[in-house]
Copies of this chain bind each other. A is one copy, B any other.
């Protein structure tokens, strides 16, 4: 079940097409904590953002985290009903295009349509993995998985080379992301630090023992 070369070629063509649409938009700057208006597709160029799902209750969870280079808002474009919000986590620079216009144009070109579906599927994969993790793993496992996820994604984008990277989330936000409370996040972080597995302070993650961290993310023993 290997991906055909023809498909891969079309995907890169589609990616190029989508990127080209963003070239025409002027870059925007936003401060940390700003809510991004719906109905638009964003290309995040610098900084982090997230999507949160809110219960009718009012309490909200962080449902996904976006890194520099990510495309955001493709999925909300066709579903105007639920007003799930996107928020910047840091100061960001990004470009925006109108979702519906862009989609109508993109979807007329098969490589772009395939690429859009690919991006949607990618986000779905992250959601599935996190659902499985939250269901199966305890606090330290989830934390390990999150730290590893960001680490590998940043490396793939070549934004990190060493074993240390910058994590702009506050501990409250980490809690909202993992379904845990701040207090407990803090305790687990301390235990991870004291075990010499990973260190997080001043928004700076240092992986001390990659092997043990990986083992944690997959349910310790």
Among A155-184, those with CB < 8 Å from B are 176-179
Q: Are B51 and A128 in contact (CB under 8 A)?
A: yes
Task: Collect the chain B residues with CB atoms within 8 Å of residue A114's CB.
Answer: 78, 103-104, 107
Among A125-151, those with CB < 8 Å from B are 125, 127-137
A153 within 8 A of B: no
The CB with the most chain B CB atoms within 10 A, among A52, A77, A117, A125, is that of A117
User: How far is A156 from B177 in the complex, measured between Cα atoms in Å?
Assistant: 31
Residue of B nearest to A64 (CB): B128
Q: Are A80 and B124 in contact (CB under 8 A)?
A: no
Q: Are A78 and B121 in contact (CB under 8 A)?
A: yes
User: How far is A77 from B117 in the complex, measured between Cα atoms in Å?
Assistant: 10
Say which residue of B64, B84, B134 sits within 8 Å of A135 (CB atoms).
Answer: B134
The segment from A25-33, A53-61, A199-207 found at the interface with B is A53-61
Say which residue of B2, B76, B104, B127 sits within 8 Å of A7 (CB atoms).
Answer: B104
Q: Are B120 and A54 in contact (CB under 8 A)?
A: no
A193 within 8 A of B: no
Task: Collect the chain B residues with CB atoms within 8 Å of residue A84's CB.
Answer: 125, 128
The answer to whether A107 and B113 touch (CB under 8 A), given A123-B124, A135-B176, A135-B179, is yes
A16 within 8 A of B: no
Q: Are A2 and B78 in contact (CB under 8 A)?
A: no
A116 within 8 A of B: yes
How many whole Å from A7's CB to the nearest CB in chain B? 7
Among A180-221, those with CB < 8 Å from B are 218-219
Q: What are 7 sample pairs from A and B whose C-beta atoms fall under 8 A apart?
A: A53-B129, A82-B125, A107-B114, A108-B110, A110-B113, A120-B120, A134-B134
Given A55-B132, A60-B132, A75-B120, 5 more A-B residue pairs with CB atoms under 8 Å apart are A56-B218, A78-B121, A79-B121, A110-B113, A127-B128
